[in-house]
Amino acid sequence: MLDNIKIFDTTLRDGEQTPGVLITSNEKLKIALKLDELGVDVIEAGSAITSKGEQKSIKTITENNLDAEICSFARPVKVDIDTALNCDVDSIHLVIPSSDLHIQYKLRKTREQVEQMTVNATEYAKSHGLIVELSTEDATRTSMDDLKRLYNLGIEAGADRLCACDTVGLLTPEKSYDFYKELATLSRPVSVHCHDDFGLAVANTLMALNAGAQQAHVTINGLGERAGNASCEEVVMALETLYHIDTGINTKLFYEISHLVETISGVTLQSNKAIVGENAFAHESGIHADGVLKKSETYEPIKPETVGHRRRFVLGKHVGKHVINEKIKETNTQVTEDELDRIFKRVKSLSDMGKTVTDVDLQTITDDILHINPEDSLILEEYTTVSGNKVTPTASVKVNINNKEKIEAGVGVGPVDAAIEAIQKSIKDTADITLEEYHVDAVTGGTDALIDVLVKLKHEDKVITARSTEPDVILASVEAYLKGVNKILTDDKKMRK
């Protein structure tokens, strides 16, 4: 593997092609600025020909004079290249269908016509000062002879880089190595662009780089069409940790940019997502947690701080006493061995009943064992919600925060969202708390079923869990949120003592 691997990020183009994802101009700029801070070499900011809005987005990014090369996707036609030029990009990702399947059924042209289009487009772009990355679509279903002929024509016309796309994710790691090793013999640097239809995009990308490819096309969180693209954070961390290649990427920003992209795209990460998922550094098993507390390398391949993440211990039926003690210590509370034994038994008892033991549950059990009666900092005195057909869901709340009364109102996509929004407004001057996750389950059947709501709230670098069970989903949601907020405020008071 070469030691000067480049990272080409296409979150804003291929990533935005994820079904249901639409990123506004301001949001694209936010992501581009963070990608530049991350240190990627190329940012594919979009496809300029798509729309006036897309052109505005790309132009806004280029006007910020980022360190990264700014690129636009383009077809091998003059209008695409001209539109990209008007956006002041540094380069174009010139994509040419290369397989018989695509040429015959999509383009309805001959191979000779496609080759001439490639030459004409490359020469035109180069004559206007653009860097050209000549990319073949469906390359992995194209004969190697046809592929090399097309690339060589592009090289003669002035192409600076070459890219071969595994458009529908058909490579295996073995095939990827052989395929890109053959292309690495060409006289221009080669990029690898893999899709994740069979869950092999990262593995195929790494094998291509092992074979001599010099640049990896990736997206944050693996966003992309269908099953997505190769994940930026997974490819980079594999290069850095497993292959000991210095990519020049500021890996400490991965967790931050991952959650920025998650928030903007609306595509929720699975909790067990490698590197940046909420459970990537979470431990429940007593044996694992004990090992991590003694030496993190026992059950963590990298330190969470390396990617800007944090370690988390989860309370469940596999939890050990030492983890419970650590969680209690986090709140500046000390317990004796006997008190810890009693708390441990209560937690295990709840777990054996099939319940998720939240941070609030542990605090309640601990306070009960220690005979502590804490006063809530936030008390809900009144709340009302209004929703219905052709009515914007609204909510108003009256709360008491540290003996001060506040009244706020909020709107949302539904009454629960509106109620949470109103409470968030009421505490914004007290603590910066965000709702990270929200889960609802019906505990019993029927229209009068008990509703169990579990929430995860984030304050600074800490995430806490809370729950409430009520027949009314709005009340259960509000109570769970209030419990979480009170847990955070109580912990803050204890830490300041």
What is the C-alpha separation between 399 and 259, in angstroms, rounded?
Answer: 30
Q: What is the pLDDT of residue 41?
A: 98
Among candidate residues 178, 167, 172, 169, the one with its CA nearest the CA of residue 211? 178
Residues 6+ apart with CB under 8 A from 225: 14, 17, 18, 19, 195
Sign of the alpha-carbon torsion through 272, 275, 281, 283: positive
CB atoms within 10 A of CB 151: 25
* pLDDT (mean) for 365-370: 84
Give strand pairing partners of 9. 43, 218
Residues 6+ apart with CB under 8 A from 143: none
For residue 497, give the DSSP letter.
Answer: -
The CATH H-level (homologous superfamily) assignment of domain 6-265 is Aldolase class I (3.20.20.70)
In this structure, CATH architecture of domain 378-496: 2-Layer Sandwich (3.30)
What is the C-alpha separation between 344 and 352, in angstroms, rounded?
Answer: 12
Kindly report each contact of residues 302-305 with a partner whose C-beta sits within 8 Å and lies 24 or more positions away, as own/partner. 302/237, 302/241, 304/280, 305/252
Q: What is the pLDDT of residue 320?
A: 77
Kindly tell me if the per-residue pLDDT of 289 is higher than 80: no
214-218, 320-324, 333-337, 467-471: which has the minimum mean pLDDT?
Answer: 320-324
pLDDT in tens, 239-279: 999 999 999 999 999 999 999 999 999 998 998 999 999 88
pLDDT in tens, 413-429: 999 999 999 999 999 88
pLDDT in tens, 118-154: 999 999 999 999 999 999 999 999 999 999 999 999 9
* Identical fold, 6-265 and 378-496: no
Maximum Cα interatomic distance, the chain, rounded to a whole number of Å: 84
Quick check: 33 and 256 in contact, CB under 8 A? Answer: no
Share of the chain above pLDDT 70, in %: 96
What is the C-alpha separation between 91 and 126, in angstroms, rounded?
Answer: 10
Give strand pairing partners of 438. 455
Quick check: 13 and 46 in contact, CB under 8 A? Answer: yes
Quick check: 206 and 5 in contact, CB under 8 A? Answer: no
CA distances from 230 to 19, 36, 167, 415 (A): 17, 19, 12, 38
Quick check: 79 and 124 in contact, CB under 8 A? Answer: no
What is the C-alpha separation between 138 and 161, in angstroms, rounded?
Answer: 17
In this structure, CATH architecture of domain 282-369: Orthogonal Bundle (1.10)
Q: Where are the domains of the chain?
A: 6-265, 282-369, 378-496
The two tokens of residue 329 are 């210590």
Please, what is the angle between helix 78-86 and helix 111-127, to 10°? 30
What is the C-alpha separation between 69 and 432, in angstroms, rounded?
Answer: 36
| pLDDT range class, residue 187, cuts 50, 70, 90 | very high
Kindly tell me if the per-residue pLDDT of 440 is higher than 80: yes
For residue 191, give the DSSP letter.
Answer: E
pTM > 0.85: yes or no: no
Give strand pairing partners of 464. 457
What is the C-alpha separation between 43 and 57, in angstroms, rounded?
Answer: 13
